[in-house]
Amino acid sequence: MSGLAMPKPDDATMRRRAEIVADMRIIVPGEGVVDATNEMRAFESDGLTAYRQLPLVVVLPETVAQVSRVLKYCNDRNIRVVPRGSGTSLSGGALPLEDAVLLVMSRFNRVLAIDYPDRVVVAQPGVTNLGITTAVEQEGFYYAPDPSSQIACSIGGNVAENSGGVHCLKYGLTANNVLGIEMVLMNGEVVRLGGNHLDSEGYDLLGVMTGSEGLLGVVTEVTVRILKKPETARALLIGFPTSEQGGQCVADIIGAGIIPGGMEMMDRPAIHAAEDFVHAGYPLDVEALLIVELDGPGVEVDHLIGLVEAIAYRNGSTTCRISQSEQERLSFWAGRKAAFPAVGRISPDYYCMDGTIPRKELPRVLAGMRELSEKYGLGVANVFHAGDGNLHPLILYDANVPGELDKAESFGADILRLCVKVGGVLTGEHGVGVEKRDLMPEMFNQIDLDQQMRVKCAFDPNHLLNPGKVFPQLRRCAELGRMHVHRGQVAFPDVPRF
């Protein structure tokens, strides 16, 4: 683990491990408790594989009552808990702790209700993202957010991370597509937020739960909105001699009032890696490749394809192909979708970053990345959700070369600092987790972070749920709650008047 400090294991908990395991077996009978080292190995890491840690014990509950009892048990005894869905987090959100129960929600794997007139699906949190679409696609419906791990990632994990995907430019993130959840607080209380209706009756706790990275509660049920599949989808594959021209094309498409279903950009190293891997027919003599997908009724798609083609031409595109068949559309995507494994072929390891920037800053950020690439002596390939400014630089390194992982992480941190500097953010869709935790002060001052931690204090005042994630420094809630302004000491003895 390269220099990442996690909360110090609690000795009292470690000493009571056997007793805790036995008690967990009482709460979750049968096969639901895993404590053998070799069996726990499967859970020692998530999608951020550079970090590994065996948990205290793995618990796989099957009922809400079991989740509630596990959490209450742990809360009463000051035992930490790390929740986990499918374990696909790219930021270490589900990284176990040595002294924490790993609460794995994968047995909550049933779709509970499908309501076509109201267009909602109620699912248990362990159902995969794609599993929701699979459940409704025979009626022509789908669930819109489509993170690239959608075959594996769970809908509960999507709520925890506010997952996005290629289509969120037009159809929104998880937060915009979830109508309700049931969750269990660390003290064991079961709370329902929202339902199959819109908006909250009070504070938007559903909004704050979405993207809270498993620090506030454990989701036990999710209600999502489903949509009718668009009649058609077609894509354009457009090459540009410079990334500036590609970036301007993106701005002009949006400026023309067009919100494509997907709009992805790749830089030269990513184009070449992808083409070598899947032979998608990508042009190799361009610096930027843009995939623009338009979906909707055929007449609309045809109309917009004409507009986008003209905009691309005005911006100096050197190639522009328009998909003439579903097969061709999929071939345009094949390279983009295989970009990560393709980069994996040209480098022993790669480290995927996730900053978001204002779109217009793309040329400046790409130039900055080239400089950093030289400084660190590591290559970088870029894929970019161009429509919403979400960058995924892939830093190429070799973990077997001593020091290269550290170098890749420093390079990545510098990229994220650059994103913040140009008005962007540290993470667009992968989450803070442990990965970007210590970079939070780049974006937030202590007062900003204190307000976020106060939310945590309202949900989990003892910092027992997923500690060591998101916040660079844990402050005790009692200390945070103290008022530092006292009557008579304030700088405004008189009523201020403006």
Q: Cα separations (Å) of 82 from 117, 234, 265, 434?
A: 37, 42, 36, 13
Site string for another protein, 175-204 (x = CB under 8 A): xx--------x---xxxxx-xxxxxxxxxx
Q: How far, in Å, CA of 78 to CA of 321, rounded?
A: 60
Name the CA radius of gyration of the chain, rounded.
24
Estimate the crossing angle of helix 243-255 against helix 362-376, to 10 degrees.
150
194, 120 contact by CB (below 8 A): no
Q: Specify the residue, 40 or 190, whose C-beta has the smaller distance to another protein.
A: 190
Q: Does 360 bind another protein (CB under 8 A)?
A: yes
Q: How far, in Å, CA of 449 to CA of 290, rounded?
A: 37
Which 422-451 residues touch another protein, going by CB under 8 A?
A: 423-432, 436, 440, 443-444, 447-451
Q: Specify the residue, 32 or 433, whose C-beta has the smaller distance to another protein.
A: 433
Q: Does 363 bind another protein (CB under 8 A)?
A: no
Which 314-353 residues touch another protein, going by CB under 8 A?
A: none
Task: Choose, by CB under 8 A, the member of 39, 76, 118, 406 that binds another protein.
Answer: 118
- Minimum distance from CB of 357 to another protein (Å)? 7
Task: Choose, by CB under 8 A, the member of 297, 341, 348, 377 that binds another protein.
Answer: 297
Q: Specify the residue, 6 or 470, whose C-beta has the smaller distance to another protein.
A: 470
> Binding segment for another protein among 28-36, 207-215, 277-285, 393-401 (CB under 8 A)?
207-215
DSSP string, 178-214: EEEEEEE-TTS-EEEEE-SSSS-SSS-HHHHHTT-TT
Q: Does 478 bind another protein (CB under 8 A)?
A: no
Cα 85 from chain centroid (whole Å): 13
Which 210-269 residues touch another protein, going by CB under 8 A?
A: 210-212, 228-231, 251-252, 254-255, 257-259
Instruction: Return the DSSP state at 348.
Output: S
Task: Choose, by CB under 8 A, the member of 11, 30, 374, 486 that binds another protein.
Answer: 486
- Minimum distance from CB of 479 to another protein (Å)? 13
Q: How far, in Å, CA of 424 to CA of 359, rounded?
A: 9
Q: How far, in Å, CA of 371 to CA of 475, rounded?
A: 37
Q: Specify the residue, 294 or 378, whose C-beta has the smaller distance to another protein.
A: 294
The strand order across the sheet containing 178-184 reads 111-115, 120-123, 218-225, 178-184, 190-194
At residue 332, what are phi and psi to the nearest 5 degrees?
Answer: -60, -40
Which 448-477 residues touch another protein, going by CB under 8 A?
A: 448-452, 454-459, 470
- Minimum distance from CB of 320 to another protein (Å)? 20
347, 398 contact by CB (below 8 A): yes
Task: Choose, by CB under 8 A, the member of 32, 126, 157, 164 that binds another protein.
Answer: 164
Q: Cα separations (Å) of 49 from 36, 91, 379?
A: 21, 9, 20
- How many residues lie near another protein (CB under 8 A)? 107
Q: Specify the residue, 385 or 407, whose C-beta has the smaller distance to another protein.
A: 385
